[in-house]
Structure 1
Amino acid sequence: MTPTSSRTTDLLAAVAGVSATALGAGLGELAAAVVAPSASPFAVIGGGMIDIAPAWAKDLAISWFGTADKAALLVGIAVLLLAVAAAAGVLERRRPPWGRVVLAALGGVGAIVSMTRADAGILSPVPSLVAGVAAAVGGALLIARLPRPLPTDAPARSDTEGPSRRSVLVLSGLAVVGGALAAVGSAAMRGGAQATSAIRAALRLPTPAVTATVPAAAELGIPGLSPVITPAADFYRIDTALVVPQIDPSEWSLRIHGLVEEEVVLRWDDIVALPQRETVATLVCVSNAVGGSLIGTARWLGVPIRDLLARARPTPDADMVLSHSIDGFTASTPLEALTDEREALLAIGMNGEPLPIEHGFPVRMVVPGLYGYVSATKWVTELEVTQYARAEGYWTSRGWSARGPVKLASRIDVPRAGARVDAGPVTIAGVAWQTHVGVSGVEVQIDDGPWQPAMLASAISSDTWVQWSLPWDATSGPHTIRCRATSTTGDTQTPAHAAP
């Protein structure tokens, strides 16, 4: 092997570390597809980072990236992993065997984290261990074959005496192989998702015993105004699942336990055999900013949760239900919100079809009047009847409010912020909500003028948003438009802005 400069050798070592890690990551993803799809190394590390991240970091991610927060996290993990891999390559060249120790440790950390996940199985550590061992061994072998660095007192060499072409080709080839293996693993996992999609497509929802009615006057039909019923494809998605759980309904079950007189276990066939109710409800994320889009309204089909809890008979000292998702997420819901007259459902359908997989298929919770972080558990598998003094949900353990009632709010959909419109007749329109309370009116202020009452569409119920509109004779020049809602209890939306 021809000696070369120390700087060039370090660069080659860094590339070797990256190439070996890419190979290991690809093998790890492939192993996950075969033995434990939910234990994909990227998903495991990403899920662990989500769990340990402080609340402010999660808020920042949602505010910056919205529903693309998970993709941004995965990109960030990949960048950080490549940086560590490059540093490990240089360390292995200069201080062997510490570079390979670092690469192996990455796999070990992933294996340990995989066993802490709620859906961990006996094979969950395997993908991360495969990734770590492959990266460590591959890195050591590659770096051992690199050109030797020149002695510090050696004369300068010409550029033609650099790294061998073969070394560069090997390093590049391994990185490509790693990417290809990751793609194969990803394709295999998509195959599993396609199997679940096929099961979902073949399902036939039961006919509801009670159907929801949407008045024709609930929809104003104004271009640009959010439809009163949000299509499933446009419904916002905020959750902690980096890999969407793929659940066969025939293998799903719900356990109701805790402070109850009788533990109850229900399976899919038990749920669909019960009388179904259809309701229209608006769900909103607590991270929704003023005027934001993390809100939607849908037709939901399911079984009242109060009926299921009645079977278990909660004890008098219970005041909270901790719902568990198969992916480890938990939500702490006030017991009274699940047992009062509101249509809190264990939902199996959305807009006339089985739940979309990313929205909780086969079963999720829908609870009007509460923000999703304390109520809207997807892929739900347990209802643990307990007390606020005994248990906390995923977000409340991170300092968020324990009960999370939805606040009174409104939004302008048209004209959009920053839009240019022609002078003359213009329609101002939007939506307003305070679920499980209801909206009695909306007012609009143009510039610093008086507040003008808008026309409300017919409300579907107090559990949904309501459309509103106001005609305006627009004049030339810039204008500021504001809106505020009034609830059925007489409260007026606050003018104060607060962070989500």
Structure 2
Amino acid sequence: MTAVGGAVIDAVPPGVKEWVISLFGTADKVALLAGMALVIAALAALSGIVELRRRFAGVAIIAVFGVVGLVAVLGRAELTAYAIPVPLLVAVAGISLLRWLIRRLGEWQPVPGGRDAGAAGQPVAGGQDAGAEGLPVPGQAVPGQPGPARRRFLQILGGTAAVAVLAGLLASMLRGAAAAVTEVRSKLALPAAASPAAPVPAGAEIRLDGLGPLVTPDKDFYRIDTALRVPLVEPEKWTLKVTGLVEREIELDFATLLAKPLTERYVTIACVSNEVGGDLIGNARWLGWPVRELLALAGPRPEADMVLSRSTDGWTAGTPLEALTDSRDALLAVGMNGEPLPLEHGFPVRLIVPGLYGYVSATKWVTELKVTRFADDAGYWTPRGWSERGPVKTSSRIDVPRDGRNVAAGTVAFGGVAWAQHTGIAKVELRVNGGPWQQAGLAPGISKDTWYQWKLALELAPGQYEVQVRATDLGGVPQVEDRAPVAPSGATGYHTVRVSVK
């Protein structure tokens, strides 16, 4: 099911993806799986109906669905030997169950003229002595053998048990693999950073009810990716290859990576699907090895201008080579907020690149860096209508009070965050009902690669108010006012909230 779901994600146009994310947010995968379950249920019902009307028509539907599943499995990058027979076994089980149910339904249908009627409605030859030669009378239980009702019950029970056993075996394999990787992660001790993160400045986190934390906890960090099932990668089996337009191809294992002088930095990352005022953005403390040091060992050739990173599940991102070799803290991250990466956030290794949206940089479960050119290769989302390079756009958000809230007249505290990763924020301003801009108090940022919190108290009399926020980066460039959708290169516009003051 996850393989078919992955193929669906690969096939849908960007507009559909954005609609699903805007509607369901980080629950998009749950929505997709629920929708697939409904489609499968509908196909099962259709198979039964057409099989009743024409023999083997329903079987054909299930067989086609099994072939589709096999093709989807064979097309996944994370293909394993035990996954190949699964869609075929499921199809065979479905066909067997369908034929068995059709036979039972035929046996349960009443015979015209009664149980003992013949083809012309006449009594069965032999009447009451039909069993004299040891032949059972139809519908009559034979001593020592189960009766018809009991036989039907045992057959149903056996068929259900067979399906349950098959499903249980598959679920057990997945749970066992997940438990093994989870246990390895829980016992993994990360080395201390050779270059630790600078302390969080005093006053960087504003205390205001409703304003989220400066550093996003792992459990609250947004997750947007194409993996319906979290890839399970054992650290001792993980390797990273550097290939392509390099002087020397390199292969790195996990133990060697941990032995490198690691860097720890606070970095805010964002999804290109983040709407104006959205929450598909988070700030964390990452631990990893600078990508520029790895690429320096490989020696990119002069004609190269892009690195195509590949995940274990086949997903790819095309990152400008410059962003991975300049002074920014682009990391092969192994840690998040002081612990090994959570499984769903890329354990054991992922990419973190300040200043770029995740679709061109934040590859989870990364296994390959191919040094190449934009003219020759493209990441997963670029052929689907998204821009090539994906720089994060300066933006800001009002978190307090929320849009549509009622507040008491008097002093109303507004607060939120602003970001211009790899550039930094110079100021944040608010305006009320289209009036003059008023500068908010801006907390010191952890670094130019993180978001900043801000706060402004306004005196508001009873009435209806529309409040907008804008940020200006350290280069003096304000965020874009014109509204634009997330596709193809990220949303723009001022975040606006409407509050009713009582």
Q: Same fold (TM over 0.5)?
A: yes
Distance 1:466 1:176, change over 3 A: farther
For 1:242 and 1:357, the matched residues in 2 are separated by 13
Q: Deviation string for 1:246-295 (max 9, x for gaps)?
A: 11100100000000000000000110000000011000000001110000
RMSD of the TM alignment (CA)?
2.1
Secondary structure, counterpart of 1:426 in structure 2:
strand
For 1:131 and 1:184, the matched residues in 2 are separated by 12
Q: Identical aligned pairs, as a percentage?
A: 51
Partner of 2:402: 416
Deviation of residue 424 (structure 1)? 1.6
Partner of 1:95: 54
Please say if residues 111 and 124 of structure 1, whose CA atoms lie closer than 8 Å, have aligned partners that are also in contact: no
Distance 1:498 1:379, change over 3 A: same
Of stretches 198-207 and 218-227 in structure 1, the one that deviates more from structure 2 is 218-227
The answer to whether structure 1 residue 460 and structure 2 residue 419 are counterparts is no
What TM-score, normalized to structure 2?
A: 0.85
Matched residue type, 2:92: V
Partner of 2:104: 145
Q: Deviation string for 1:133-176 (max 9, x for gaps)?
A: 1111221122122137999xx99xxxxxxxx9887997699568
Q: Deviation string for 1:276-334 (max 9, x for gaps)?
A: 00011000000001110000000000000000001110100000000000011000000
Secondary structure, counterpart of 1:358 in structure 2:
helix
Please say if residues 226 and 431 of structure 1, whose CA atoms lie closer than 8 Å, have aligned partners that are also in contact: no
- Within a 5 Å distance, the mapping from 1:488-499 to structure 2 comes to 488-499=474-485
Of stretches 414-423 and 173-182 in structure 1, the one that deviates more from structure 2 is 173-182
Matched residue type, 1:79: L
Please say if residues 110 and 125 of structure 1, whose CA atoms lie closer than 8 Å, have aligned partners that are also in contact: no
Matched residue type, 2:247: E
Secondary structure, counterpart of 1:480 in structure 2:
strand
What TM-score, normalized to structure 1?
A: 0.86
Partner of 1:201: 186
Deviation of residue 356 (structure 1)? 0.6
Distance 1:427 1:485, change over 3 A: same
- Within a 5 Å distance, the mapping from 1:53-452 to structure 2 comes to 53-147=12-106, 178=163, 182=167, 185-213=170-198, 214-452=200-438
39, 48, 72: which one aligns with 2:7: 48
Please say if residues 412 and 460 of structure 2, whose CA atoms lie closer than 8 Å, have aligned partners that are also in contact: yes
Please say if residues 115 and 121 of structure 1, whose CA atoms lie closer than 8 Å, have aligned partners that are also in contact: no
Distance 1:394 1:447, change over 3 A: same
**Structure 1: unaligned runs, 5 residues or longer:** 1-41, 156-163
Please say if residues 392 and 420 of structure 2, whose CA atoms lie closer than 8 Å, have aligned partners that are also in contact: yes
Deviation of residue 179 (structure 1)? 6.1
Matched residue type, 1:212: A
For 1:46 and 1:165, the matched residues in 2 are separated by 40
Of stretches 47-56 and 404-413 in structure 1, the one that deviates more from structure 2 is 47-56
Matched residue type, 2:6: G
For 1:488 and 1:175, the matched residues in 2 are separated by 65
Secondary structure, counterpart of 2:355 in structure 1:
coil
Secondary structure, counterpart of 2:215 in structure 1:
coil
Deviation of residue 184 (structure 1)? 6.1
Q: Deviation string for 1:53-90 (max 9, x for gaps)?
A: 11111111111111000010001111111111111111
Of stretches 93-102 and 370-379 in structure 1, the one that deviates more from structure 2 is 93-102
Please say if residues 300 and 350 of structure 1, whose CA atoms lie closer than 8 Å, have aligned partners that are also in contact: yes
| Aligned residue-pair number | 449
Of stretches 474-483 and 79-88 in structure 1, the one that deviates more from structure 2 is 474-483
For 1:493 and 1:123, the matched residues in 2 are separated by 51
- Specify the structure having the higher radius of gyration (Cα): 2
Q: Deviation string for 1:325-370 (max 9, x for gaps)?
A: 0011000000000000000000000000000110000000000000
Partner of 1:34: none
Distance 1:317 1:427, change over 3 A: same
Matched residue type, 1:57: V
Matched residue type, 1:93: L
For 2:308 and 2:214, the matched residues in 1 are separated by 31
Partner of 1:472: 458
For 1:227 and 1:122, the matched residues in 2 are separated by 44
Q: Deviation string for 1:403-427 (max 9, x for gaps)?
A: 0000010000101111222112221
Partner of 2:490: none
Q: Deviation string for 1:401-451 (max 9, x for gaps)?
A: 000000010000101111222112221110001111111111001223211
For 1:475 and 1:173, the matched residues in 2 are separated by 72
Secondary structure, counterpart of 1:64 in structure 2:
helix
Matched residue type, 1:186: A
Deviation of residue 477 (structure 1)? 2.2
Matched residue type, 1:342: R
Q: Deviation string for 1:83-105 (max 9, x for gaps)?
A: 11111111112111121121122
Report the structure, 1 or 2, having the larger helix content: 1
